Structure 1
Amino acid sequence: MFRDRALVAEGSRIRRMAPLAAPVVWGLVAVAWKLGCPLARQPGVPMRVASSLLFFTVGTGLVLGARRGLKRELTRVRAVADATQQVLLRPPPARLDGLSVAAGQLSASRGAVVGGDLYEAAATPYGVRIVIGDVRGHGLAALGAVVAVLGSFREAAHDEPELAGVLRRLDRALGRHLCERAREEHPARSGRAPEHPAAEEFVTLLLLEIRADGLVYVLDCGHPGPYRLGHRVEAVPVGEPLPPLGAFPLPAELVPYRATRLRPGETLVLHTDGAEEARDHRGRFFALEAALAGAAGEAPAALVRRVHTALLRHTGGRLADDVALLVVRNDRVRVPAQPAEPGLRRTRPEPSPH
């Protein structure tokens, strides 16, 4: 097995060096010609010009070969990053139990497609469950916590009948990740101070459950509350906030807060704090609530794109923190009550007027 890995690594190294083979050969020929050919050592302007052109051609070939190799390597790295994003922070299904869903993220790290924000939605026997969160910091250093929380949610959302049980599973998964990080960062093992210590890492998180009747229950761990888009834009209350995961232990009793009812045609917009804390060059915050005005009934995917465009325009493309949005629209049809068919006997007697 180890021999196979060595052969694969050697083959990859040879493929990376292939674009430089021809320029290197020409360079060796040019050096041999310059040192071994008596004609090349003759004085005179024509011979100097010929030598200069020869070495200039060889140098240009080396630069172009190196550029081609780097470009191919960058293409492969981007392909791996895109595949990682699809697995780690995959787009939610467009439809979940009668709800239209869309999500998107803007990373503050240049060249990164995955940052420190996380989101996921799943249709379960207990309702549509949604998580959105923000790991302290952003970029590649936060990926470990994102993996731990999302991996736990994708199992717990279907296994746990109570929303409180889901949150406790997420807390335990993050705790295990932080313990492993702390062991790896110990001075006896790492030999240097970590840039982002595990002891300072925590996750703000919002956990929701949208039931069949549209009732929305919430557990909030220090995360911004969502907005509901109906006749107007209004902030949804999320109850007394719990501590962020990883910062302090969860309380012994967890009672989900009945936040609102999402009626047919209404939209719920979940976001991370990077959206409302984004500033322009004058230091003014992005007005997310104003950006959502008039968007009632808009398709979730179009709404995500519109808010992202407004954010980039407001900040001039320079984000200080990652921004994640998840939009849910209730497309369930309200079925009116049907009158009883004639000839059917009532199963219960009429109550007495007295």
Structure 2
Amino acid sequence: MIRTRSLLADGSRLRRLAPLALPTTWGAVAVAWKYGCPLARQPGLPMRIATSVVFLTVGLGMVLGVRHGLARELARARAVAAATQQALLRPLPARLDGLALAAGQLSASRGASVGGDLYEAVATPYGVRLVIGDVRGHGLPALGAVVAVLGSFREAAHDEPELAGVLQRLERALERHLRERAREEHPARAGAEPEHPAAEEFVTLLLVEVRPDGRLTVLNCGHPGPYRLGKRAERLAIGDPLPPLGVLPLPAGIVPYTAARLLPGETLVLHTDGAEEARDRRGRFFALDAALAGAPGEAPAALVRRVHAELLHHTGGRLADDVALLVVRNDRVRVPAQPAEPGLRRPRPAPSSHR
């Protein structure tokens, strides 16, 4: 096994050095010609020009070889990032138990396709369960917490009959991740102070359960509330928030908010705070509520694309924080009231006769 790994590492190094083989050979030939050929040492302008051309060609070849190697490494890194994106924030199904869904993320890290925002939707025996969250910070350092929370949600959403049980599972998963990070970053092990102290890492989170009748069950851990789009766009009331995960322990008795509903034809928009805190060059915040107000009946995928485009236009493409959107539209058909069976109809009173 060790020999196999060594051979693979040697092969990888040879592939990286392959673009430099030809320029290096040309350089060796040029040096040998310069110092080993009597003709090259003859004085005169034509011979100096020829020598300069030879060395310029060698230098240009080496630069192009290095550039080609870097381009290949960048393409490989982007492919790995795309695969990571697919594994972490996998594309949601277009429909899920009568609901139309779409989601998307914009990363604030230049050249990165993943960040500190997370989202997921799964159909369970208890209803369609949604999660959206925001890890403190963005970019690659936040990926560990994203993996811990999403992995736990994808299991707990099917196992726990109550949404409070799902949230408690997420808290335990994040605590395990933070303990492991703290051990890895401890000065006694790393030899220096940690660059990203795990003690300062936390996750804001919003858990939503959509029942078959459209009733919503919501748990909010310091996360921005969602918008409900019907005849108008309105911020949905979701009760008092709990503390973000990783800041304080959750209380013993967790009571979700259950007074809201998502009627057929209405849309629920979950988002991270980067959507409302994005600023333009003048420091003006992005008006997310105004962008959503003009979206009655808009398909979830089209809404995500349009809001992302308006965000990038507002900020000039310079996002200060990651932005994630999760849009759910209730496409379930409302069943009209059925008339009573003929045998159960109440008899009409006989008309009174007047003489």
TM-score class, shorter-chain normalisation, is over 0.9
2:102 corresponds to which residue? 102
1:145 corresponds to which residue? 145
Q: Does 1:232 align with 2:232?
A: yes
Deviations 1:243-285 (A, max 9, x none): 1000000000011101411111110000000111111111111
Q: CA deviation at 1:336?
A: 1.3
Question: Whole-Å Cα distance in 1 between the matches of residues 172 and 69 of structure 2?
Answer: 44
Moved over 3 A (4+): 340-343
Native 8 Å contact 2:186 2:194 kept in 1: no
Q: Following superposition of structure 1 onto structure 2, how do residues 59-78 of structure 1 map, counting pairs within 5 Å?
A: 59-78=59-78
Native 8 Å contact 1:278 1:315 kept in 2: yes
Segments of 5+ residues of structure 1 without an aligned counterpart are: none
**Equivalent residue letter for 1:75:** A
Question: Whole-Å Cα distance in 2 between the matches of residues 83 and 205 of structure 1?
Answer: 25
Question: Whole-Å Cα distance in 2 between the matches of residues 73 and 282 of structure 1?
Answer: 38
Deviations 1:316-345 (A, max 9, x none): 1111111100000001111212224435x6
Q: Following superposition of structure 1 onto structure 2, how do residues 237-248 of structure 1 map, counting pairs within 5 Å?
A: 237-248=237-248
Native 8 Å contact 2:104 2:325 kept in 1: yes
Percent of residue pairs bearing the same amino acid type: 80
Deviations 1:127-185 (A, max 9, x none): 00000000111111111100000000000000000000000000000000001111111
1:14 corresponds to which residue? 14
Segments of 5+ residues of structure 2 without an aligned counterpart are: 348-355
Question: Whole-Å Cα distance in 2 between the matches of residues 308 and 47 of structure 1?
Answer: 61
Native 8 Å contact 1:94 1:102 kept in 2: yes
Question: Whole-Å Cα distance in 2 between the matches of residues 185 and 66 of structure 1?
Answer: 35
Question: Whole-Å Cα distance in 2 between the matches of residues 162 and 153 of structure 1?
Answer: 13
2:351 corresponds to which residue? none
2:295 corresponds to which residue? 295
Three-state SS of the structure 2 residue aligned to 1:305 is helix
Root mean square deviation of aligned Cα: 1.4
Question: Whole-Å Cα distance in 2 between the matches of residues 121 and 195 of structure 1?
Answer: 33
Q: Does 1:277 align with 2:277?
A: yes
1:201 corresponds to which residue? 201
Native 8 Å contact 2:133 2:204 kept in 1: yes
Q: CA deviation at 1:32?
A: 0.5
Q: Does 1:31 align with 2:31?
A: yes
2:120 corresponds to which residue? 120
**Equivalent residue letter for 2:180:** E
Alignment TM-score, normalising by the size of structure 1: 0.96
Q: How many residues align?
A: 347
Three-state SS of the structure 1 residue aligned to 2:258 is strand
Three-state SS of the structure 2 residue aligned to 1:25 is helix
**Equivalent residue letter for 1:8:** L
Alignment TM-score, normalising by the size of structure 2: 0.96
Q: CA deviation at 1:96?
A: 0.7
Question: In terms of mean alpha carbon deviation, does 301-310 or 257-266 score higher?
Answer: 257-266
Deviations 1:78-113 (A, max 9, x none): 111101100011121111100000001111110111
